[in-house]
Amino acid sequence: MKRALMALACAATAALVAPAVAAPAQAHTTTGSKARPLDPAAALRKKFVPGHGVRFVSSGKTDFGGMTTVKSGAKGTLAFGRSGVAASDIAFKIDYAALLGNDEDLKGLDKPIRTITIGRTAYLSGGFYSNLLPEGKKWLRMRGEDPDSALQMIGEFVNPLDWRNLKAVLATTKAKGPGGVVNGAKTTVYRGAITLKQLSAVVPSLRKGLTAADGKNVVNWKIWIGADQLVRKVSTSMTMTTKYKKTTMEIESTNSTSFVGWGSKVTVKAPPKSTVADLSDLDGGVPDMPDMINLGD
């Protein structure tokens, strides 16, 4: 049941990862002539200050072998702790309508959902969950979640808020050049490709269930980085082959995410306790998701 619920909260399926090779060094710090040049991973880590964070807007599309296309969009605020993202407040929508048909049990699955994540606790509201919650409750609390679960929809396979992931991805750079102005910042755009096997080497939680065949899938990526070495935009694309009803199908996914307000003051609070329900409080059971939604899980 828990797997089915979280499948609704993630726009992508996947694994991020790679070898720990040095990322390209660019802009220099101004603290002295002996200071080491900042690279994007180091610049990101300097932004991990409690009470501060960044905002993002993301959009994606997944084509299921030409049979149907599912679009997704998300926006929100990410709050930093001392070692990474500590909390998030994200609103997103996945257009599952083409996959649902007239199934009344899944009504609302393609409606907007808001998720607040603080540490290892996630709160979900709207969309599909509105049909399950008891009267007077607006949020479903899920404990013990992977802190990165809410971030898997941001940049899909490339997570630019994880410095290890960012460093590993940039280590596979094949080319770079002028990226133009993105969100008010003059940028350099880096291009490259990385396999899921490489990505899974730096994010342990993504190794589970990754087969040898899955590991060969290649994520093509582009990252726009400002003069301050902070990421302004990420785009990814990947084509993977899977089985669906005894037929081999190619699933093509693309994603684009922009970041603004690096280091701005942000606050993410849990919903009022009186509005929160737990899994044990749900009205009725959780129906199975359509098979196609779980492809690639």
Q: Which residue has the higher pLDDT, 226 or 155?
A: 226
Cα 51 to Cα 88, 109, 164, 237, distances in angstroms: 12, 33, 22, 33
Q: What is the pLDDT of residue 152?
A: 60
Contacts of 49 (CB under 8 A, 6+ apart): 80, 82, 263
Contacts of 58 (CB under 8 A, 6+ apart): 72, 73, 74, 75, 92, 153, 154, 155, 255, 256, 257, 258
β-pairing, 173-182 with 185-195? antiparallel
293 inside domain: no
Is residue 166 within 8 Å of 41, Cβ to Cβ?
A: yes
Rounded Cα distance, 4 and 82, in Å? 32
Q: What is the pLDDT of residue 292?
A: 53
Through-space distance between the first and last CA atoms of the chain, rounded to whole angstroms = 14
> Hunting for tokens 């996914």 — which residue is that?
253
Tokens of 269: 């609070």
9-13, 174-178, 241-245, 278-282: least confidently modelled range: 9-13
CATH code of the domain containing 7? 2.50.20.20
- Give the mean pLDDT of the chain: 79
Residue 85 has pLDDT above 50, yes or no: yes
- Whole-number percent of the chain with pLDDT over 90: 47
29 inside domain: no
43 inside domain: yes
Residue 148 has pLDDT above 80, yes or no: no
Q: What is the pLDDT of residue 31?
A: 41
Q: What is the pLDDT of residue 68?
A: 83
Task: Count the domains in the chain.
Answer: 1
> Hunting for tokens 């929508």 — which residue is that?
93
* DSSP output for 159-197: -TTSHHHHHHHHTTEEEEEEEEEETTEEEEEEEEEEEHH
β-pairing, 139-143 with 52-64? unpaired
89 inside domain: yes
By C-alpha distance, which of 69, 70, 44, 72 is closest to 58? 72
Q: Which residue has the higher pLDDT, 81 or 151?
A: 81
Q: What is the pLDDT of residue 125?
A: 93
175 inside domain: yes
Structural domain range at position 143: 2-22+39-282
50-59, 174-183, 198-207, 226-235: least confidently modelled range: 198-207
Which pLDDT band, with edges at 50, 70 and 90, does 226 fall under? very high
Q: What is the pTM of this model?
A: 0.81
Q: What is the pLDDT of residue 24?
A: 36
3-state secondary structure 63-93: EECCCEEEEEEEEEEEEECCCCEEEEEEEEE
172 inside domain: yes
Rounded Cα distance, 17 and 166, in Å? 9
Q: Which residue has the higher pLDDT, 130 or 223?
A: 223
Strand runs labelled E in 139-283? 139-143, 173-182, 185-195, 218-226, 231-244, 247-265, 276-278
pLDDT tens-digit readout, 52-76: 999 999 999 989 888 888 888 999 9
33 inside domain: no
- Average pLDDT value for residue range 204-225: 86
Rounded Cα distance, 252 and 240, in Å? 7
pLDDT tens-digit readout, 189-214: 999 999 999 988 987 767 777 788 88
pLDDT tens-digit readout, 97-125: 666 666 665 666 778 899 999 988 999 99
Residue 91 has pLDDT above 80, yes or no: yes
- Average pLDDT value for residue range 1-17: 32
Rounded Cα distance, 69 and 252, in Å? 9
- Whole-number percent of the chain with pLDDT over 70: 73
pLDDT tens-digit readout, 269-286: 999 999 999 988 886 655
99 inside domain: yes
Q: What is the pLDDT of residue 203?
A: 75
Q: Is the dihedral of CA 19, 20, 22, 28 positive or negative?
A: positive
Task: Give, in degrees to the nearest 5, the angle at Cα 157 between 172 and 222.
Answer: 50
